[in-house]
Structure 1
């Protein structure tokens, strides 16, 4: 089976492709936009200037050849044409089975595109909140690069380090995190804080390895944990997020829940409890190995391919 992964938000397409290769699938990852996310891909089409007709033509020509040579198109994230009109080429013109894999803002809180619903064989979502916005979808937990995420102990320090890594301050509600940090300092709590932004994947992982506590999504609008939370748990770090309990009520998820108003108190208790942090970190690592293992995720996806293609 030859699978083409079109784009790779948060490296999900790449991680999945590597696991599929270990299962004997010929998987290729092509990027048409947002290369700044990471440097994990096989084919890079982002250098073309798609604001020009010649750039659009060049991307279309190369992508057409890639899709023609695959058996199945696994399409990640935002559409490369408005309303997923390019599916008319891939699904209708070339007759390729298309599997759409949604990762967030391209579908959240908006009407689902008609063409995406009609022309895709099956739809995946990377977080359970998206099930409300994508019809007849299947939640596939995000896989992560476990071989690059060994569990390690944080550096020994009398002042625990809190780390927050927003790719988008509004989405992760960084304002609430900064407010909680300011409140803790007013209480004379001994700790350090690092805000990590505009970093490479390797720099981000290095920052997480230095952390004692990771604060990720603190936004009640979403109520989820994301890829960075998974990576931090894989490293053995306790993670704090604002969670919608209805999304994870049947899970042993060890993410520490905290609303924006509760955040300072939750962090203060964690700062004062190193043994509890260690216990939660161990539980987080086990959770990732069980639920976000790329080989297990790849098997689920392959079963869906066989059922729906």
Structure 2
């Protein structure tokens, strides 16, 4: 099958999925117009909006299935969707969060959430309404995103974030950590709750001996090496679900602190080893680790098993292929 992914690379997901799809005999390519310091490039064609528009006719004729990301498509105003549908080709939309996070709805179950990166509600509604004129099914990575898009689509599939485990050889924290290293990597500080996290760090450093590093503005490979040295990773404490950093940290065998909304906890597998914390109790959550060194390795090992079971690209693409197979043009 010839599979188009585009046009925004979010957390390396297009590249990871395309790489695994290629291994299985598909011709899969990600076309990315979103260029950042993270420097994702594997299995991608990094291009521009203008180049995509100029080659859209060829792309539409060449590919069999179109896997769009982040509420985008090839042409402005989703003009390509009608053309693709008229040719009897399959389409699916992959939503990632900020593209569909309705502001008031997000706050109904989460007083901490930051939605400043999301478009106005009326824009989200207009986009989803237009997309679903032609696209019947969507993918989301978890149930935090699911509720925003479920009313619009005929079917919404929950498929977890994927990771290529090969570069993520686990490096479990030492049994007894004399001076633990805590890291936090905010791509967007307001979204991740960096202010509250670093206030907690400052408070705890008056009583405990540990090192803290904020990791930002470095490419993905460099950032992963920094995570590898950590004893504890503090990810996002406002969103209500975990993201790629949490998955990568677990793959490296690191314990993770992230906020999981109380109404979503049961939607995740029961063995999820993440320490749940929000801006109100982040001090206590970090303190638990500082006072219980055995937790570092225990949760780190459980995290690696969890990443292997639920997030390995092979597991995720198994699910993706099933969705593709059952899509109707």
Normalised to the residue count of structure 1, the TM-score between the two structures is 0.90
Q: Distance in 1 between matches of 2:288 and 2:248?
A: 23
Cα 1:243–1:83 shift into 2, 3 Å: farther
Shift of 1:22: 2.1
RMSD, aligned α-carbons: 1.9
Q: Distance in 2 between matches of 1:83 and 1:264?
A: 46
Give 1:65-84 correspondences, 5 Å limit: 65-80=58-73, 84=78
1:236 equivalent in alignment to 2:253: yes
Question: SS of the residue aligned with 1:148?
Answer: coil
Give 1:73-152 correspondences, 5 Å limit: 73-80=66-73, 84-92=78-86, 94-109=87-102, 110=121, 111-112=124-125, 113-135=128-150, 136-152=155-171
Q: Distance in 2 between matches of 1:269 and 1:204?
A: 26
Shift of 1:59: 2.7
Shift of 1:78: 4.0
Q: Distance in 1 between matches of 2:57 and 2:165?
A: 33
1:162 equivalent in alignment to 2:162: no
1:191 equivalent in alignment to 2:215: no
Gaps of 5+ in 2: 103-120
**Corresponding residue to 1:43 among 42, 45, 52:** 45
Shift of 1:85: 4.1
Task: Tell me if the contact between 1:20 and 1:295 (Cα under 8 Å) persists in the aligned partners.
Answer: no
Q: Give deviations 1:26-61, integer Å, cap 9, x for gaps.
A: 211111233544222432213xxx5xxxxx3x4312
Task: Tell me if the contact between 2:37 and 2:218 (Cα under 8 Å) persists in the aligned partners.
Answer: no
Shift of 1:164: 0.3
Cα 1:20–1:75 shift into 2, 3 Å: same
1:176 equivalent in alignment to 2:170: no
Mean alpha-carbon deviation: is it higher for 137-146 or for 127-136?
127-136
Q: Give deviations 1:63-83, integer Å, cap 9, x for gaps.
A: 332232111001111425555
Question: SS of the residue aligned with 1:120?
Answer: coil
Normalised to the residue count of structure 2, the TM-score between the two structures is 0.84
Q: Distance in 2 between matches of 1:280 and 1:157?
A: 14
Q: Distance in 1 between matches of 2:185 and 2:265?
A: 23
Task: Tell me if the contact between 2:16 and 2:43 (Cα under 8 Å) persists in the aligned partners.
Answer: no
Q: Distance in 2 between matches of 1:241 and 1:203?
A: 22
**Corresponding residue to 1:263 among 278, 282, 300:** 282
What is residue 109 of structure 2 aligned with on the other side? none
Shift of 1:260: 1.1
User: How many residues are treated as equivalent by the alignment?
Assistant: 296
What is residue 262 of structure 2 aligned with on the other side? 245
Task: Tell me if the contact between 1:85 and 1:115 (Cα under 8 Å) persists in the aligned partners.
Answer: no
Shift of 1:23: 2.0
Task: Tell me if the contact between 1:107 and 1:130 (Cα under 8 Å) persists in the aligned partners.
Answer: yes
Task: Tell me if the contact between 1:103 and 1:127 (Cα under 8 Å) persists in the aligned partners.
Answer: no
Q: Give deviations 1:119-149, integer Å, cap 9, x for gaps.
A: 1142001232111111231111010121111
Gaps of 5+ in 1: 51-55
Task: Tell me if the contact between 1:5 and 1:73 (Cα under 8 Å) persists in the aligned partners.
Answer: yes
Q: Give deviations 1:160-183, integer Å, cap 9, x for gaps.
A: 011000100011011110111111
Shift of 1:154: 4.2
